[in-house]
Amino acid sequence: MPATLFLPAILAKLADGKQLTADGATVGELVAGVAARYPALAPRLRDDQGNPYPFVTFYLNDEDIRFKGGFAAAVQDGDELTVVPAIAGG
Amino acid sequence: MAHTPLTTPATPPDVPHAARHAARRTSDSPDLSQDEILRYSRHLIIPDVGLAGQKKIKAARVLLIGAGGLGSPLALYLAAAGVGHIGLVDFDVVDITNLQRQVLHGTKDVGRPKLDSARDRIADVNPYVKLTTYETVLTSENALEIIRDYDIVIDGTDNFPTRYLVNDACVILGKPNVYGSIFRFEGQASVFATEHGPCYRCLFPEPPPPGLVPSCAEGGVLGVLPGLIGTIQATEALKLIVGIGEPLIGRLLLVDALHGRFRTVTLRKNPECPACGTREIKKLIDYQEFCGVPQATADAKKDRELPEITPRELAERQKAGDDLDLIDVREPHEWEIARIPGARLVPLATLPEELPRLDGTRDIVVHCRSGVRSAKAVRQLQAAGFKRVWNLVGGILRWSDEVDPTVSKY
């Protein structure tokens, strides 16, 4: 299902920009597809085993995917997936 | 500020609880003098604040952790707003590179403790504010004792260990933690650790490994950005104190200053969160360890075991006409700021492509800004079989100090 992935600036430089269109029946599939397209971005989105990190939160239409089955969360056409990494600057 | 459509918070905002905390001294009902009434008149004529709200602000005790980028607008606006008692924790001295964003300090303050310049500035902004300063690193040993005396804590720190420390201390003591964090053009803000709301660990259960996420010192930050996020934190604190509006409890505000986008996402309280869910964290832990800092320090020590050359040694070799390949692994925009004569630019990310073109029979010296990225490059080169490789210790910064002060430091 085509969905839109929103990246923060810190990760956008590893892809073609802040906003990517990607396919996948689940968040995990979608992220795997993006990771294959952008190898430099891959290790910033998920670990070697393809699992989410505890310091990178994915929001599927404003809902934390941890409460929707994690990477197994189903993606619908037109969904928005926002990547929110931990930052510490102050 | 633009309004974003608000999603219904997954966790009902427990404003009364937060406000109760913030206003626990309103029973003292501090009166306002005529001078104060005039000073705060633009608050008093807002019906939502009024005299009662201003008295709550005067009675409030707010602790700011950090007097830097976020702490600057926080301290200035909360002092101006009439917060009766502000606590400020910082151990740093004012550096010239702070002034691009840390508006609490001025050029004349360079070299002074930040708490000293903060004290002068706050006294000028509002002499009615009582300021308590803590010139210390916030640690697991002192955090509970310091935080205990306050109604609201505002996290304006710049590192992960302190953020987890502040979070856990606030959860343990039941103090609202007004969170803000920034990087380059983007920021995050929320209100954590209210009675029913989520905490920082619900958002990020564990920190990234050290070195993965650059700090503002490493990656830069737009000077205005801490102003944006810090004033949002100050706004949240005032809302909690007065007990008005819809605080960012159960919501995370994401600010993208470059694209002019403000957006909120829902933050849920994680029932399995060891801090605010299961409450298995009953006392403060070793946050350096939790954030992998000792391991990173050990790795840095390993970096020092790499073959090194000092700037003076390099300068002597250059002067003697030695044939060596001086590789600068910084980014092109850094190359524009300053460079070492004789160096050529090969940004770290492009080093693998450059490997086949390198001459293994020549001596290779690698440098960056401070010596960290070039250490990574030296390890990559060693792994690729290059034997005659040295790291320029201290990078271009030390080159400027010891060899050529006309090379700009940044």
Kindly write down the DSSP assignment for every residue of B85-139, as one continuous string.
EEEEE---B--GGGTTT-TTS-GGGTTSBHHHHHHHHHHHH-TT-EEEEE-S---
Cβ-defined contact of B69 to A90 (cutoff 8 Å): yes
**Chain A contact present for B184, CB below 8 A:** yes
DSSP string, B267-293: ----TT-TTTTS----S---HHHHTTH
Residue B1 is predicted with a pLDDT of: 36
- From B159, B226, B254, residue closest to A88, measured CB to CB: B159
**B66 CB within 8 Å of a chain A CB:** yes
Question: What single letter denotes the amino acid at residue B244?
Answer: I
Supply B361's token pair.
Answer: 């029979």
Interface check B139 vs A, CB under 8 A: no
> Cα(B254)–Cα(B349) distance, rounded to whole angstroms?
29
Closest-CA distance, A29 to chain B, in angstroms, reads 22
Q: Does B256 touch chain A (CB under 8 A)?
A: yes
For residue B154, which residues of chain A lie inside 8 Å, CB to CB?
A: none
Question: Is residue B227 a contact partner of residue B73, using CB atoms and an 8 Å limit?
Answer: yes
d(CA B384, CA A75): 42
Cross-chain residue pair A85–B252, CB shorter than 8 Å: no
Q: Which residues in A lie closer than 8 A to residue B66 (C-beta atoms)?
A: 90
Name the closest residue on chain B to residue A59, using Cα atoms: B265
Length of chain B (residues): 410
Q: Which residues contact B45 (CB under 8 A, 6 or more apart)?
A: none
Give domain B306-402's CATH number out of 3.30.310.50, 3.90.1420.10, 3.40.50.10210, 3.40.250.10.
3.40.250.10
Among B167, B186, B248, the strongest candidate for a mutation testing the A interface, having the largest count of A CBs within 10 A, is B186
pLDDT at B2: 37
Strand-pairing partners, residue B316, are none
C-alpha radius of gyration, chain A, whole number: 12
Q: Does residue B7 belong to the interface with chain A, where contact is any CB pair within 8 Å?
A: yes
Among residues 67-86 of chain A, which lie with CB inside 8 Å of chain B? 67, 82, 84-86
Beta-carbon pairs below 8 A across chains A and B: 99
Per-residue CA distances from B237 to A21, B34, B57, B233, B364 (Å): 38, 25, 10, 6, 54
Strands (E) across A1-90 are located at 3-6, 19-22, 56-60, 63-64, 80-85
Per the CB < 8 Å rule, is A62 touching B188? no
Alpha-carbon Rg of chain B, whole angstroms? 25
Is B250 an interface residue toward A (CB < 8 Å)? no
Range of the domain at A39: 3-85
In angstroms, the Cα distances linking B183 to B100, B150, B165 are 14, 28, 20
B99 touches chain A (CB under 8 A): no
* CATH number of the domain bearing residue A9: 3.10.20.30
Give CA–CA dist B282/B284, Å, rounded: 7
Residue owning tokens 């401070």: B370
> How many domains does chain A fold into?
1
- Set of chain B residues whose Cβ sits within 8 Å of the Cβ of A45: none
Give the integer Cα–Cα distance in Å for B25 and B69: 29
In B135-220, which ranges are E strands?
A: 152-155, 177-183, 186-192
Q: What is the pLDDT of residue B242?
A: 98
Identify whether A23 is part of a domain: yes
The nearest alpha carbon in chain A to B270 belongs to A67
Task: Provide block-wise average pLDDT over 10 residues at a time, chain A (90 residues).
Answer: 90 90 96 95 94 96 95 96 95
Report the residue count for chain A. Answer: 90
- Give the residue on A whose Cα is nearest the Cα of B271: A67
Q: Does A25 touch chain B (CB under 8 A)?
A: no
State the distance between the two ends of chain A, measured CA to CA, in whole angstroms: 38
**Is A86 in contact with B208 (CB distance < 8 Å)?**
yes
Pick from B140, B117, B133, B35: nearest CA to B82: B35
- Angstroms from A10 CA to nearest CA on chain B: 8
Q: Which residues of B are catalytic?
A: 216, 368
Burial class (CB in 10 A: 0-12, 13-18, 19+), B55: buried
> For residue A46, is it within any domain?
yes
Q: What's the gap in Å between the CA of B69 and the closest CA on chain A?
A: 5
Q: For chain A, say whether B262 makes contact (Cβ under 8 Å).
A: no
Which of A10, A68, A82, A87 best tests the B interface by mutation, with the highest count of B CBs <10 A?
Answer: A87
Which superfamily does CATH assign the domain made up of B15-25+60-297 to?
NAD(P)-binding Rossmann-like Domain (3.40.50.720)
Rounded-to-5 percentages of helix, strand, coil across chain A: 30, 30, 45
Secondary structure (3-state) at B247: coil
Task: Identify any residues that bridge with B134 across adjacent strands, giving them in sequence order.
Answer: B89
List B263's β-bridge partners, or say none: B254
Q: Which residues of A touch B264 (CB under 8 A)?
A: 62
A90 with B207: Cβ contact below 8 A:
no
Sequence-ordered list of residues with C-beta below 8 angstroms from that of B208, at least 6 positions apart, any chain: A53, A55, A56, A85, A86, B160
Q: Across the interface, which of B66, B258, B267 has its CB nearest the CB of A9?
A: B258
Q: CB-based contact (8 Å) between A13 and chain B?
A: no
| Per-residue tens of pLDDT for chain B, all 410 residues | 333 333 334 444 454 444 554 544 445 578 999 999 999 999 999 999 999 999 999 999 999 999 999 999 999 999 999 999 999 999 999 999 999 999 999 999 999 999 999 999 999 999 999 999 999 999 999 999 999 999 999 999 999 999 999 999 999 999 999 999 999 999 999 999 999 999 999 999 999 998 888 787 788 899 999 999 999 999 999 999 999 999 999 999 999 999 999 999 999 999 999 999 999 999 999 999 999 988 888 877 777 789 999 999 999 999 999 999 999 999 999 999 999 999 999 999 899 999 999 998 999 999 999 999 999 999 999 999 999 999 999 999 999 999 999 999 99
Q: Which two tokens stand for residue A86?
A: 């931990």
The mean pLDDT of chain A is 94
Bridge partners, residue B184, by sequence: B221
The answer to whether B310 touches B402, Cβ cutoff 8 Å, is yes
Domain-embedded: residue A90: no
| pLDDT per position as a tens digit, A6-29 | 999 889 989 988 999 999 999 999
Model pLDDT, residue B304? 73
B267 token code pair: 């933050």
Which of residues 320 through 349 in chain B touch A, CB cutoff 8 A? 349
Domain ranges of chain B: 15-25+60-297, 306-402
SS3 B189: strand
**Nearest-by-CA chain A residue for B252:** A62
- CA quadruple A29, A30, A36, A40: dihedral sign: negative
Query: B107-110: long-range contacts at Cβ-Cβ below 8 A with a sequence spacing of 24 or more?
Result: none
